[in-house]
Amino acid sequence: MANADTVTGLQLRSTAKKEGILEISLATVATPEPKPEEVIVRIEASPINPSDQGLLFAGADLSTAKVSGTAEQPVVTASIPPAALRAVTGRVDQSLPVGNEGAGVVVRAGTSAAAQALLGKTVAIVGGGMYAQYRCIKAVACLVLPAGTTPAEGAAWFVNPLTALGMVATMRAEGHKALVHTAGASNLGQMLNKICLKDDVALVNIVRKAEHVALLKGLGATHVCNSSAPSFTDDLTEALVATGATVAFDAVGGGKLAGQILTAMEAALNRTAKEYSRYGSTTHKQVYIYGGLDRGPTEFTRTFGTAWGIGGWLLTPFLQRIGFEAAQKLRERVAAEIKTTFASTYTKEVSLAEALKLEEIAVYARQATGEKYLIAPNKGLR
Amino acid sequence: MANADTVTGLQLRSTAKKEGILEISLATVATPEPKPEEVIVRIEASPINPSDQGLLFAGADLSTAKVSGTAEQPVVTASIPPAALRAVTGRVDQSLPVGNEGAGVVVRAGTSAAAQALLGKTVAIVGGGMYAQYRCIKAVACLVLPAGTTPAEGAAWFVNPLTALGMVATMRAEGHKALVHTAGASNLGQMLNKICLKDDVALVNIVRKAEHVALLKGLGATHVCNSSAPSFTDDLTEALVATGATVAFDAVGGGKLAGQILTAMEAALNRTAKEYSRYGSTTHKQVYIYGGLDRGPTEFTRTFGTAWGIGGWLLTPFLQRIGFEAAQKLRERVAAEIKTTFASTYTKEVSLAEALKLEEIAVYARQATGEKYLIAPNKGLR
């Protein structure tokens, strides 16, 4: 810390300018003095999740990206196509901090006992603005990581683990007995596979590459369907017959996959139907779109009766629905299993400045399976 | 009745043959002797609803329709395209009766007091097989029409009235304060308009023709948006801002309309948003597809945040969800307002044989607004 009174550090900022230009820069900001119930966390690790990239890139065309500024404080600019700019009207010309979740060490604390008790502790936190050297946050929002857990191990404690747990909880709450997950081989997909194996929940994984079938099978998955295979529809239908899955969580969003899943669910249900029902199966079939790996239009032909739904799914309203205590139990499970069920793996660890290199953006912006980045905001700066 | 012991009459039958041929014919069937709790209704009137036509035509290409047989017992055949045939696999080679609802006179009754009390009464009934001269049904399922109501006035007592009432009830049950309806000028749309005016519920009607705007405005509708007008998106957004509608019931199904509605709802909600939310409005926006005027693919671009859903909506599970007593209240309201709120109008009344004329099929199969047919199964036969 350069100053004994004020904690100052770099913070990544993203601005969508009204002229249709994205600007990503590193601002030097003074972290607010902690109030009695607050602490200042020195962020040591924060993952770049797909869910961070909407805010980070504002839909810009990254093939137009340029870098300027200095090596320590680079500035990335890129064009935002008109349609994408319209979609982010509400944030135009605002300089926004980025980064949903992270972990680090409490370096300063407010006067309350709860805050003081955290001094020196390694904690996991969530709430935006994590791509920064320091983050002021309420003490009650900090999850103290188990002894021996590094910030890098705890950084991705919230978004993927809670989303995966939320999928299983949603499946149960809505009366389904098994679930389908697309992007099965992703970090989140692998976590979900581990949860389902541990909790004895039947899971149908959908992946897009043969090597991801092998990867998941190697991790103990029973049902893995490759959407690129000619036999995909049949494979999926058989897996749905075997598991009885009638809810799917889809990271892709665009294209025909959501409709294909509903059609296969209907076919699986009709296998056991005893009598013709002109309105289709009476069992409700649901696809929740929780990601946008394909940002193009979603298209489906309604050949799956009338008992179906497609909708958005987001972690925050799910946690609000289940309430604080139920959510806290999920958080505690994540902390307890952070090195096993909820372990994440990363391709690369980068500093804030390195995260703005065009060659790094080109890799992590693809959101490809097995190419996940971790930002270490204080790397090389202390 | 030709026979003192057995009630025999014509019954319309639809068969989807495995060779890909639809066959519609009039079978001469003996109505079962009523059990103690049953009655036999001589059907005097039964509407041809869009919801009947799926079962009637089995997705056949009606441009290939041919007629054979006799004038009294014609047989219509048409080709069923392979995709449509796959969609009706469960009914292949079964000769199925058609006709959801109707009204007529109780001509024979079982020995129970409830059944005997209905003898000679004009009743409205539902449950399939109404395109027939006679229908055996449980006495408890008969709705006695108010004195002075003709079978033609009571024939469409169930599908449209209960669907329209179900939309308003669903809107309320799911916490929305106003609703959108496509096919606003249809028989059902006009009914819904009357219900909403009477019950003081804000309704946004979507129609496809300028003359339907005039028609609904003439019936007192406040918000009527023409989806063919260049200003449609703006018009719809303004109507959504004015009403706060966040649920829509869509009769069209295919194309981009469902997505356009969600996009306009999101735009309307964001008008009043105070702060940028990268996940969009937190208010849930819902489109229920209850019809298939456009059987083509449904396509939407996800520019309406994450709090949204598109799904099927069907009357029967709605009635099951609300339970018998609540459903009975809705039925009683329909009976009480059958000549006002729930009055239907028809282009033409046809006999069973006339309903199988190619020139009549060509008209009613279009399901165009203002071209609704009523079948009078005993017309010219008594």
pLDDT digits (tens, 9 = 90+) for A218-240: 999 999 999 999 999 999 999 99
pLDDT at B295: 87
Residues 6+ apart with CB under 8 A from A33: A6
Kindly tell me if the per-residue pLDDT of B272 is higher than 80.
no
Is A296's Cβ below 8 Å from some Cβ in B? Answer: yes
Q: Rank A141-145, A232-236, B303-307 by mean pLDDT and report only the highest.
A: A232-236
- Closest-CA distance, A112 to chain B, in angstroms, reads 31
Average pLDDT of chain A to the nearest whole number: 93
- Yes or no, beta carbons of B277 and A90 under 8 Å apart: yes
pLDDT band at B333 (very low <50, low <70, confident <90, very high): very high
Kindly list the residues from chain A whose CB atom is less than 8 angstroms away from the CB atom of residue B273: 90
Kindly tell me if the per-residue pLDDT of B353 is higher than 60.
yes
**Comparing C-alpha atoms, which of A185, A148, A188, A150 is closest to residue A167?**
A188
Six-digit token string for A177: 């007995």
Measured N-to-C along each axis, helices A187-199 and A210-218 cross at an angle, to the nearest 10 degrees, of 40
Q: CA of A55: which chain B residue's CA is closest?
A: B278
pLDDT at B380: 80
Is A90's Cβ below 8 Å from some Cβ in B? Answer: yes
- Yes or no, beta carbons of B298 and A301 under 8 Å apart: yes
Residues A101-113: what's their mean pLDDT?
A: 97
Q: CA of B83: which chain A residue's CA is closest?
A: A303
Conformation bin of residue A253: beta by default, left when phi > 0, alpha when psi is -120 to 50: left
Q: Does the predicted TM-score (pTM) go above 0.95?
A: no
Buried-state track B209-248, b at ≥16 Cβ within 10 A, e below 16: eeebbebbeeeebbbbbbbebeebeebbbbbbbebebbbb
pLDDT at A1: 39
Q: Rank B162-176, B272-286, B365-379 by mean pLDDT and report only the highest.
A: B162-176
Q: Which residue among B94, B273, B278 sits closest to A276, beta carbon to beta carbon? A: B94
Is B210's Cβ below 8 Å from some Cβ in A? Answer: no
Question: What are the helix and strand counts (H, E) for chain A?
Answer: 13, 20
Six-digit token string for A266: 């209907």
- In chain A, the DSSP E strands lie at 7-17, 21-31, 38-47, 61-69, 74-79, 96-97, 101-109, 122-126, 134-138, 143-144, 178-182, 202-207, 223-226, 247-250, 253-255, 285-289, 294-300, 308-312, 348-350, 373-375
β-pairing verdict for A134-138 and A122-126: unpaired
Kindly tell me if the per-residue pLDDT of A50 is higher than 90.
no
Per-residue pLDDT tens for B65-74?
999 999 999 9
Is B32's Cβ below 8 Å from some Cβ in A? Answer: no
Residues A130-143: what's their mean pLDDT?
A: 96
Partners of A294 in beta bridges: A253
Residues A74-78: what's their mean pLDDT?
A: 97
Task: Among A200-214, B66-80, B271-285, name the one with the lowest average pLDDT.
Answer: B271-285
Six-digit token string for A7: 């904690």
Partners of B124 in beta bridges: B103, B143
pLDDT at B6: 82
**Comparing C-alpha atoms, which of A92, A127, A315 is closest to residue B307?**
A315
Contact call for residues B270 and A90 (beta carbons, < 8 A): yes
pLDDT at B83: 85
Q: For residues A274 and B213, which has the higher predicted lDDT (pLDDT)?
A: B213
Angle made by CA atoms B289, B375, B158, in degrees to the nearest 5:
45
Q: CA of A83: which chain B residue's CA is closest?
A: B303
pLDDT at B2: 40
Is B274's Cβ below 8 Å from some Cβ in A? Answer: no
Per-residue pLDDT tens for A77-101?
999 999 889 888 889 999 999 999 9
Per-residue pLDDT tens for A165-177?
999 999 999 999 9
d(CA B376, CA A80): 62
Kindly tell me if the per-residue pLDDT of A4 is higher than 60.
no
d(CA B51, CA B162): 13
Is A276's Cβ below 8 Å from some Cβ in B? Answer: yes
- Closest-CA distance, A256 to chain B, in angstroms, reads 10
Is A303's Cβ below 8 Å from some Cβ in B? Answer: yes
Is A144's Cβ below 8 Å from some Cβ in B? Answer: no
Q: Which residue among B89, B278, B309 sits closest to A309, beta carbon to beta carbon? A: B309
d(CA B31, CA A45): 77
Average pLDDT of chain B to the nearest whole number: 93
